[in-house]
Amino acid sequence: MATVEPLDISVFARRQIASRLGELSRRLETALSRREQETVHDLRVAIRRFSEALKVFRSLLPEAETKRVRKRLRKIMTAAAEVRDRDIALQFCKKAGLSEEAALWRRLARDRARAERRLAKRVRKLYEAGLIDKWGERLGSPGGASS
C-alpha cells in the first residue's frame, strides 16, 4: 500500500488561491461578454470565494498585496451588487405582474443598464492593467514568480 505524504500548508494554500483566482478570472471574462443575471451572480460568488481564500491564508501571503487585491475586488463587488440589486427588483416586479412597459420597470431596467456599464468598465480596467496575472505572481500561485 502506497503512503501519501502530507501536503505542506503553503503548497495547499497556493493551490487553493490559484484555483479560486482561475475561477474569478473566468467569471470576469464572462462578465465582459454576457449580460445575464446568472453572470453577475456567479461573478459575485467567485469574488467572495477568492476573498475568503485570501483571508484564510493571510498569514502565508504578503500583507500589502493582499490588501490591495481585496480593495480592488471590493470595488468590483460593489459595482456587481448594483447590477444584482436591480435584477432582484426586476424579478419582484415580474412576480407582482408589472408590465415591462410600466414606468417602474423601465426605470429599473435603465438603472441596471447604467450599473452594468459601470461594472464592465471596472472589469475592463482590471484586465487592461493585467492584474489577474500580477495577482497570481504576487500571491505565489503555482507557476507564478514566487513559487
Cα distance between residue 147 and residue 141, in whole Å: 7
Cα distance between residue 34 and residue 20, in whole Å: 21
For the segment(s) 9-138, the CATH number from 1.20.120, 1.10.8, 1.10.1660, 3.30.450 is 1.20.120
Q: 48 CB contacts (<8 Å, ≥6 apart)? A: 77
In the predicted structure, residue 80 carries a pLDDT above the cut 80: yes
Cα distance between residue 109 and residue 35, in whole Å: 12
Identify which has the larger pLDDT, 105 or 5.
Answer: 105
Handedness of CA 63, 68, 74, 76 (dihedral sign): negative
Predicted local distance difference test score (pLDDT) of residue 114: 96
Predicted local distance difference test score (pLDDT) of residue 8: 85
Domain segments of the chain: what residues?
A: 9-138
Encode pLDDT of 19-58 as tens digits.
999 999 999 999 988 878 999 999 999 999 999 999 999 9
Q: What would the mean pLDDT of 118-123 be, rounded to a whole number? A: 95
Q: What would the mean pLDDT of 75-92 be, rounded to a whole number? A: 96
- Indicate the residue type of 78: T
In the predicted structure, residue 101 carries a pLDDT above the cut 80: yes
In the predicted structure, residue 144 carries a pLDDT above the cut 60: no
Q: Is 135 exposed, middle or buried (0-12, 13-18, 19+ CB in 10 A)?
A: buried
